[in-house]
Amino acid sequence: MKIRGFPAGAFQTNCYVVGDAAGGDVVIIDPGQDAAPVVRRILADEGLTPVAVLLTHGHLDHTWNAAQLCDEFGIPAYIHPDDRPMLADPAVGIGPALGAMIGDEKFAEPDKVIDLVDGDDIELAGLRFSCDLAPGHTRGSIVFGLEAETDDGPVRVSFAGDVLFAGSIGRTDLPGGSHQQLLDSIDKKLLPLPDDTVVLPGHGPQTTIGRERASNPFLADLPGAGPGSSGPGGTEHDPSAEPSNSKGRHGL
């Protein structure tokens, strides 16, 4: 399996093209602003055929080019129904202040949209993706899981969107965001994964569950965090300590 990733657009959102081999089928994950030309070049250079677009959530910096690519190649977009309204009306997910940056640009759903269901496995391009609902950044944030074969054996890969970053977590100050809910999602859906699970986030460099469990300051009080810790569970949180934009330099 090969994962091709690159940052795109003003928000440097990571877009991923995932498939088994050159000349085969691939899945496009989070084609944000200005991602389409790079995706087309990858497809052409490697003789790849896209079969679907997977969206970790509905924020515009992750969906900007989704309809364009879906309709061009006649493929569906997969998104959780709680975030689906943002495809046609991105402002509902970012609020009026940030919504002003859209200007007069018009958005619409792709011709074919498939709703994701928490706990489902979907088979695309010969790969099996797990779908775990992880609300907090948005109500419909999904973490996609995949088992990749490597020379050292199988490795779990998690496409985390804006749920978890290297050394940080997603912002929760936009409509539908909840800091406590995001922490609970990370504790229940991500921290139970093996330490060597590779996390491919929506912004910034890749990381691992073990690295974030041991050193991510936003996770320090979670039951599943800390060196050698694992396991799901909630946590109590002091609202006065909640940052308004916990991911700082990252996008929406």
* Domain spans, the chain: 2-241
Both ends of the chain: CA-CA distance in Å? Answer: 30
Confirm if 66 and 43 have CB atoms less than 8 A apart: no
* Residue 21: pLDDT over 60: yes
Residue 178 near residue 134, CB atoms below 8 Å: no
The whole model's pTM is what? 0.90
What distance in Å separates the CA atoms of residue 43 and residue 53, rounded to the nearest whole number? 14
CB neighbours of residue 138 within 10 Å: 30
Query: CA-CA distances (angstroms) from residue 169 to 164, 180, 199?
Result: 4, 12, 12
Query: Please, which pLDDT band fits residue 20 given cuts at 50, 70 and 90?
Result: confident
* Tokens found for residue 206: 């890749």
> Which uninterrupted H or E stretch holds 47?
none
* Chain segment 40-91, per-residue pLDDT in tens: 999 999 999 999 999 999 999 999 999 999 999 999 999 999 999 999 999 9
Look at residue 22 and tell me whether its pLDDT is greater than 90.
no
* CA atoms of 95 and 88, how far apart (whole Å): 14
Q: What is the pLDDT of residue 231?
A: 41
The phi and psi torsions of 95 (rounded to 5 degrees) equal 85, 165
Specify the CATH number of the domain 2-241: 3.60.15.10
The tokens for 106 are: 């018009």
CA 74 to chain centre: 22
pLDDT (0 to 100) of residue 229: 62
* pLDDT tens-place string over residues 152-183: 889 999 999 999 999 999 999 999 999 999 99
Query: Are the CB atoms for 39 and 17 separated by under 8 Å?
Result: yes
Residue 169, token pair as written in the block: 């977590």
pLDDT at 205 over 60: yes
Of 226, 220, 237, residue with least CA distance to 180: 237
Mean pLDDT score across all residues of the chain: 89
